[in-house]
Structure 1
Amino acid sequence: MTSKFVIQQQPVDLLQSRESDEWGSEICDCCEDKAECCFAFCCLPCFACKISREYGQCLCLPLLDLFWIIPPVTYGFRVSMRERYGIRDTMCRDCLLATCCRACSWCQMSKELKRRTIPIALIGAKPTA
């Protein structure tokens, strides 16, 4: 006897387009999400690892920034996020923000990731006879 799986997907209201060529928040907009900003300023390595995992990269990748004056991972994440979402900015500004405002930079990327992530739901998967 074989069984078949039937998948029915219901429409989801969360699939709205949120595309823009600008960052969703400014670099010092800490009032938008105070809990995340406090986490970033109290324990930046832990916060950066959390965001790295949410972005789909290796959990420990941001720890490499601890050994450099110009943090290559923070810089790389900013450039990657700009490329992925089509955000207009310059590599020079990315380098400056990654070096001088590292915690604010990670907060901005976290907010952007939340703003642009579109959840996908698979509803009604059940075996039938």
Structure 2
Amino acid sequence: MLPVSMQPRALIMSSDEADWASEICDCCHDAKQCCCLFWCCPCFACKTTKEFGQCVCLPLLDVFSCFRPITMSTRTSVRHRYGIRGSLCRDCLCATFCPACVWSQISTEMKDKMIPTMLSDIIQY
């Protein structure tokens, strides 16, 4: 059994909705992430989808189409999971016209919502 080094924060639903941790065009703030998106956006999307707990190959369905239903639905799902304000129309527009920015925003949001877990306190028998 492998130890877990990171666990997601508990989802706290409230009447107040939050904003995204990054704006849609903030994809260049993280150089490593920006390079990965530039050279192989589908690979980055698959990695992000896996971290979100979905099928790793799901974003590949978007590769050959103008409209990107998987990118849009993943952004919508992240928005609902973390209580972020927005609309389905904005999700559709962002996913259609800048899918790389959407995957960057999703990845940044997931990183922002993760907290490290200290495993040194766990006693193993």
Q: Compute the TM-score of the two structures, normalised by the length of structure 2.
A: 0.81
Percent pairwise identity = 52
Residue 120 of structure 1 and its aligned partner are, at CA, apart by 3.8
**How many residue pairs get matched?**
114
Greater relative CO (CA pairs within 8 A, separation 6+): 1
1:108 aligns with 105
Shift of 1:29: 1.0
RMSD over aligned Cα atoms: 2.5
1:11-69: CA deviation from partner (whole Å, max 9, x where unpaired): xxxx7x99961001111113421110110121011000000011111111110111322
In the alignment, does 2:67 pair up with 1:53? Answer: no
**Paired residues of 1:97 and 1:105 also in contact (CA < 8 A):** yes
Distance of 1:18 and 1:84 partners within structure 2: 9
Higher Rg of the two aligned structures: 1
**1:18 and 1:116 in contact (8 A); partners too:** no
Find the residue that maps to 1:118 and give its secondary structure.
strand
| C-alpha distance in structure 1 between counterparts of 2:72 and 2:61, whole Å | 12
Structure 1 residue 85 corresponds to structure 2 residue 82: yes
1:97 is matched with 94
- 5+ unaligned residues in a row in structure 2: which ranges? 1-8
Deviation at 1:119, TM superposition (A): 3.6
Letter in 2 for 1:79: T
Question: Secondary structure of the equivalent of 1:58?
Answer: coil
Task: Tell me if structure 2 keeps the 8 A contact 1:74–1:102.
Answer: yes
Within 2, Cα distance between the matches of 1:116 and 1:50?
A: 17
Equivalent of 1:124, from 109, 112, 122? Answer: 122
Partner Cα separation in structure 2 for residue 52 and residue 99 of structure 1: 18
